[in-house]
C-alpha cells in the first residue's frame, strides 16, 4: 500500500483520480495539488515556493503530470532530499521512466499494475516500406512528449504481441534508445524514423 503520510512516487494511469483520492484520505490535513499536463521548470519553482511557506501541521504537496521535464526534476532534487519541516511530497505519473534516477532514489516508489490497452497501429511492421514509414511519421509528427513515449510503447507491444515478431537486438536497443531520446526532448520525427528503419532493415534481411 502506498504510504501517503510519508510521501513518495506513485505510478498510475489514473493521475487525477488518484490525486483526488489521496487528497481526501489525508483530510483534514492540508494538501496542495499541482496538476499539469507537462510539469515544467516554472511549475517546480511554484512548488518550491509553496513548500517554504511555514506550516504548524503536515502539508502534502501532490505533483501530478503525464510528464516531468528534466529541468523541473533537477530543480526539485534538493527540496525532495531535504524537505522543509512538516512538508511531504507525492509525485504522480503514468510511467516510472518519467522520473530521473536521482529523483527515484530520493522517494519510495509504488507502481500500480493496471492492464494497458493499446490501439491497433495503422502500419504493419513485418512488411513496412519507406512510403508507409514516412506517412506514419507525418501522421505522428506533432505528438507531445508523453504521447510520443506512449506511441513507442505501442510499437513495441504491437511488434511483440500482435505481429509476434522475433525482435533483433538492434530493434530492442532502438526502442529503448528512442524512449531516452524523447525524454531528452530530441526531435520525435527523427527518433521515429530511426526506430522504424530498423524494422525495414529486418524486412530486407528476410526475417
Question: pLDDT of the chain along its 207 residues, tens only?
Answer: 455 567 899 999 889 999 999 998 888 999 999 999 999 999 999 999 999 998 889 999 999 999 999 999 999 999 999 999 999 999 999 988 899 999 998 999 998 865 566 778 889 999 899 999 999 999 998 898 888 988 998 998 898 888 988 888 888 888 888 988 988 889 999 999 999 999 988 766 655
Based on the fold, state whether residues 41 and 91 are members of the same structural domain.
yes
Any domain includes 116: no
pLDDT at 1: 44
Any domain includes 120: no
Tally of domains within the chain? 2
pLDDT at 195: 94
Any domain includes 117: no
Instruction: Specify which residues 59 forms β-bridges with.
Output: 30, 87
Based on the fold, state whether residues 16 and 97 are members of the same structural domain.
yes
Domain coverage including residue 13? 4-111
Any domain includes 71: yes
Torsion of CA 116, 120, 124, 126, to 10 degrees: 30
pLDDT at 34: 97
**The domain spanning residue 28 has which CATH number?**
3.40.50.300
Any domain includes 155: yes
pLDDT at 40: 96
Based on the fold, state whether residues 22 and 102 are members of the same structural domain.
yes
pLDDT at 107: 92
pLDDT at 3: 56
Q: Are 146 and 94 in contact (CB under 8 A)?
A: yes
Q: Which residues of 86-107 are buried (b: 16+ CB within 10 A; e: fewer)?
A: ebbbbbbbbbebbbbeebbebb
Based on the fold, state whether residues 49 and 73 are members of the same structural domain.
yes
The alpha carbon of 38 is separated from its chain's Cα centroid by a whole number of angstroms, namely 10
Based on the fold, state whether residues 184 and 140 are members of the same structural domain.
yes
- Which of 77, 111, 145 is the endpoint of a domain? 111
Based on the fold, state whether residues 95 and 130 are members of the same structural domain.
no
Based on the fold, state whether residues 105 and 10 are members of the same structural domain.
yes
Based on the fold, state whether residues 102 and 142 are members of the same structural domain.
no
Give all strands (DSSP E) within 104-158, no chain letters: 109-111
Give all strands (DSSP E) within 83-129, no chain letters: 87-93, 109-111
Helix/strand/coil percent split, the chain, to 5: 50, 15, 30
Cβ neighbours, 10 Å, residue 47: 22
Amino acid at each position: 500500500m502506498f504510504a501517503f503520510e510519508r510521501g513518495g512516487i506513485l505510478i498510475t494511469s489514473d493521475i487525477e483520480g488518484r490525486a483526488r483520492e489521496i487528497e481526501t484520505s489525508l483530510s483534514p490535513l492540508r494538501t496542495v495539488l499541482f496538476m499539469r499536463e507537462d510539469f515544467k521548470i516554472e511549475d517546480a519553482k511554484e512548488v518550491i515556493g509553496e513548500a517554504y511557506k511555514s506550516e504548524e501541521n503536515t502539508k502534502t504537496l501532490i505533483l501530478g503530470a503525464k510528464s516531468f521535464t528534466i529541468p523541473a526534476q533537477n530543480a526539485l532534487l534538493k527540496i525532495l532530499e531535504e524537505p522543509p519541516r512538516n512538508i511531504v511530497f507525492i509525485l504522480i505519473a503514468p510511467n516510472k521512466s518519467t522520473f530521473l534516477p536521482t529523483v527515484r532514489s530520493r522517494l519510495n516508489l509504488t507502481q500500480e499494475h493496471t492492464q494497458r490497452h493499446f490501439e491497433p497501429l495503422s502500419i504493419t511492421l513485418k512488411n513496412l516500406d519507406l512510403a508507409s514509414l514516412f506517412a506514419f511519421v507525418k501522421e505522428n509528427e506533432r505528438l507531445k512528449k508523453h504521447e510520443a513515449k506512449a506511441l513507442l510503447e505501442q510499437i513495441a507491444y504491437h511488434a511483440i504481441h500482435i505481429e509476434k515478431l522475433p525482435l533483433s537486438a538492434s530493434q530492442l536497443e532502438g526502442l529503448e534508445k528512442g524512449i531516452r531520446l524523447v525524454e531528452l526532448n530530441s526531435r520525435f520525427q527523427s527518433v521515429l524514423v530511426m526506430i522504424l528503419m530498423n524494422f525495414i532493415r529486418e524486412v530486407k534481411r528476410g526475417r
